[in-house]
Amino acid sequence: MNTLAPNKISSYKKLIVLVSIIIPIVVGVLFSIKKIPGNLSFLPPIYAGFNAATSILLIAALIAIKNGKTKAHRLFVRLALLLSILFLGCYVAYHLTSNPTYFGDLDHNGSLSDAEKVAAGKWRIIYFFTLISHIGLSMVVIPMVLFSYLHAWAGNYQKHKKLVRFSYPIWLYVAITGVLVYWMISPYYV
């Protein structure tokens, strides 16, 4: 991988911090703004597919690096980053145009009756645990992944490896739980 000049590294670090702050704010604001017209209801299975593919690519990247195939590792990580960016774009677009979907809302009226809560049962707790851990870790993993990538790009493989020990399993967890969250909420989409 090409190494970066030290002055570029500093600039990229500042950009990573900025992006890591802006993304969670933008996603949070999505749920409080008036929806724009449009029907992007076809996007959730697509961005769930991006998460599934990201999971596969991350596993392939680990296998590649364990086997000394650095070029393949780089390719898989770059593709996983690209799919994560595409996921974010589709997620934002969908939530800009769609009202929230509630787990257990069988009649799609935007609220849960006592009967719907009972029908959802323990799955509501499992869903919310998965969703909350997914959201929380997705915010944490953004700077971790970007700094891991920056260290590798700069040729600082010691720092890269040290950070990847934490960022990799979190990124993989976020990608896998993204698919699980979609799978659990999909019956309640309008």
Instruction: Inform me whether the pLDDT recorded for 5 exceeds 90.
Output: no
Tokens 């991988």, residue?
1
Contact 175, 91 (CB under 8 A): no
Tens of pLDDT, residues 23-68: 999 888 888 888 888 889 999 999 999 999 999 999 999 999 999 9
Q: What percent of the chain has pLDDT over 70?
A: 98
CA distance 190 to 188: 6
Amino acid, single-letter form, for residue 186: S
Q: Which long-range contacts (CB under 8 A, 24 or more apart) does 71-80 make?
A: 74/1, 74/152, 77/149, 80/54, 80/171, 80/175
State the chain's mean pLDDT as an integer: 92
Tens of pLDDT, residues 136-153: 999 999 999 999 999 999
Contact 153, 120 (CB under 8 A): no
Confidence of residue 3 (pLDDT cuts 50, 70, 90): low
Task: Give 111-174 as a DSSP string.
Answer: S--HHHHHHHTHHHHHHHHHHHHHHHHHHHHHHHHHHHHHHHHTT-HHHHHHHHHHHHHHHHHH
CA distance 158 to 71: 18
CA distance 96 to 117: 27
Four-residue CA torsion sign, 49, 51, 55, 60: positive
